[in-house]
């Protein structure tokens, strides 16, 4: 093992160097992948030195999500202490289902959940767990809501048409989960949004009324804290009133921007969160931990247990349910995702997490300011968002993004709202500074001047 740790360290040095020198890896066309890299598997193994060289080649060619040119998606960058925590979790290799096997790591997970519950004003009756991602957190919320409405469903299955509500701008996992949980995609109601992409509580109310008249059983509303494209925040306060009136489970999907709970400047964006029944946040997005680190908490500890526990004599052999976390999990064996966020939180404190979140809004503000002060740009996103959406000259955004990627210039994606297509630059890497943001625009402009005339002409 000592040799492998030394090799790991050498490979990391190589990776950090490449990240700086070649921030965007040359993309390999899928048709060339197996010709260009030795990914094949054989009866005979490789000598250590050959293995090292193969790994180096793979590292060199793998997209660099921690580089200063990565603005592509809702994660990016690398925060040392969080990475350290995750590397330790790999070395320790516990499974989080029982206290017997995970010991203090269970305490660490429970502490993170407890601190989050207290931060958002959840009652003492709250609890939570770590899921394999935000999509799965949303699924757990739907399952709890379904079972809370009718506890017999776990044994008897669905017998009524139950409807759920989510905005047109929400994450696709809500609809996908409706299919997976027996609710059915036809029972997903798409609530309209305002011009900023925020759910309209009045339309929600209308949809619910109509469904009740038509004999459906409404049970669940999903509000989003940071929609996937625009980074919009639904009005939780207004939505929670509708939920209360109709006795519906309110889940707040904060996978993207739920991290605002750590910032006194931006916490107001999730005002009313304490009225929700469940809330999820991906620490691997705003808090910059390695993938994946998805947390779901609920005010109904008993419901979490009712919906996910199953007896298993061969597994639960010591200690009480409170410390055998498998009883409230979607999974059986489960990787330790808590240690990375705990190590980060422990080392920088809640104040440090606040700085991480604030920095992203600051970088987004700088980007918007740049866009607004340069006439070749047009801004499509709004304040209080770390998704900066824009077009440049009249270049089709899709083509510009793809060309930037193929030419190893920048990693950035495009999105759509109200039939406008735009570039979506995400300032989620809290390690970046103003000059990196300005450099993004400089790179884009000089690339466009050089290359896009060809593309436009063709």
The residues of the shown chain that bind ligand PLP, judged by CB under 6 A, are 74, 133-135, 171, 173, 224, 226, 228, 253, 255-256, 282, 292, 294
Q: For residue 176, give every residue at least 6 positions away whose Cβ sits within 8 Å of its Cβ, in sequence order, or none.
A: 135
What whole-number distance in Å separates Cα of residue 135 and Cα of residue 174?
8
Nearer CB in complex with ligand PLP: 259/272: 259
CB of 134 to ligand PLP, least distance (A): 2
d(CA 45, CA 40): 11
Sign of CA dihedral 97, 285, 230, 250: positive
Measured from the CB atom, is 291 or 315 closer to ligand PLP? 291
User: What minimum distance in Å lies between the beta carbon of 324 and ligand PLP?
Assistant: 25
Question: Quick one: which of 189, 193, 173 has its CA closest to 181?
Answer: 173
Q: Which residue is closest to ligand PLP by CB? A: 134
Choose between 144 and 448: whose C-beta lies nearer to ligand PLP.
Answer: 144
Q: Please name which of 277, 271, 258, 224 lies closest in space to residue 341, comparing C-alpha atoms.
A: 258
In angstroms, give the least distance from the CB of 439 to ligand PLP.
26
Which ranges in 181-290 belong to alpha helices (H)? Answer: 201-213, 236-246
**What residues contact 275, with CB distance under 8 A and at least 6 apart?**
236, 237, 240, 243, 244, 250
286 vs 344, which CB is nearer to ligand PLP?
Answer: 286
Closer CB to ligand PLP, residue 106 or residue 174? Answer: 174
Least Cβ distance, residue 24 to ligand PLP (angstroms): 22
| Nearer Cβ to ligand PLP (198/253) | 253
Shortest distance, position 170 Cβ to ligand PLP, whole Å: 7
**Alpha-carbon distance 444 to 397, whole Å?**
11
Tell me how far, at minimum, the Cβ of 136 lies from ligand PLP, in Å.
Answer: 6
Q: Of the two residues 134 and 259, which places its CB atom closer to ligand PLP in the complex?
A: 134
Least Cβ distance, residue 255 to ligand PLP (angstroms): 4
d(CA 147, CA 248) in angstroms, rounded, equals: 12
Residues 163-186 as b or e (16 or more Cβ within 10 Å = b):
bbbbbebbbebbeebbeebebeee
Is 455 strand, coil or helix? helix
């Amino acid at each position: 093992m000592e040799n492998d740790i030394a090799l790991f360290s050498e490979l990391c040095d190589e990776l950090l160097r490449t990240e700086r020198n070649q921030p965007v890896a040359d993309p390999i066309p899928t048709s060339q992948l197996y010709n260009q890299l030795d990914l094949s598997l054989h009866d005979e193994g490789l000598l250590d030195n050959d293995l090292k060289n193969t790994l180096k080649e793979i590292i060199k060619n793998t997209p660099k999500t921690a580089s200063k040119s990565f603005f592509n998606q809702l994660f990016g960058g690398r925060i040392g202490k969080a990475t350290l925590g995750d590397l330790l979790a790999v070395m320790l290799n516990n499974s989080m289902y029982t206290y017997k096997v995970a010991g203090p790591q269970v305490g660490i997970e429970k502490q993170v959940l407890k601190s989050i519950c207290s931060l958002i004003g959840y009652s003492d009756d709250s609890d939570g767990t770590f899921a394999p991602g935000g999509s799965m957190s949303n699924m757990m919320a739907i399952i709890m809501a379904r079972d809370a409405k009718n506890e017999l469903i776990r044994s008897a299955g669905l017998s009524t048409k139950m409807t759920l509500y989510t905005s047109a701008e929400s994450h696709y996992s809500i609809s996908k989960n409706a299919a997976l949980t027996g609710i059915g995609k036809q029972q997903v109601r798409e609530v309209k949004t305002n011009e900023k992409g925020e759910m309209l509580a009045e339309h929600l109310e209308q949809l619910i009324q109509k469904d009740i008249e038509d004999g459906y059983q409404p049970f669940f509303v999903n509000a989003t804290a940071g929609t996937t494209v625009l980074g919009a925040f639904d009005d939780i306060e207004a939505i929670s009133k509708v939920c209360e009136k109709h006795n519906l489970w309110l889940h707040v999907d904060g996978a993207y921007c739920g991290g605002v709970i750590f910032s006194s400047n931006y916490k107001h964006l999730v005002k009313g969160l304490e009225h929700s029944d469940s809330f999820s946040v991906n620490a691997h997005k705003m808090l910059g931990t390695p993938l994946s680190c998805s947390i779901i908490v609920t005010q109904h500890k008993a419901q979490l247990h009712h919906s996910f526990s199953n007896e298993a004599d061969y597994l639960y052999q010591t200690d009480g349910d409170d410390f055998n976390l498998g009883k409230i999990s979607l999974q059986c064996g489960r990787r330790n995702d808590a240690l990375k966020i705990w190590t980060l939180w422990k080392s920088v404190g809640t104040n440090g997490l606040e700085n991480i979140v604030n920095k992203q809004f600051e970088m987004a503000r700088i980007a918007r300011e740049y866009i607004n002060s340069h006439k070749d740009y047009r801004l499509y996103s709004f304040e209080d968002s770390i998704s900066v959406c824009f077009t440049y000259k009249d270049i089709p955004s899709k083509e510009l993004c793809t060309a930037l990627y193929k030419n190893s210039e920048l990693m950035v994606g495009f999105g759509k709202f109200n039939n406008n297509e735009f570039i979506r630059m995400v300032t989620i890497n809290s390690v970046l500074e103003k000059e990196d943001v300005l450099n993004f625009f400089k790179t884009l402009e000089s690339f466009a001047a050089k290359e896009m005339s060809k593309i436009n002409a063709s």
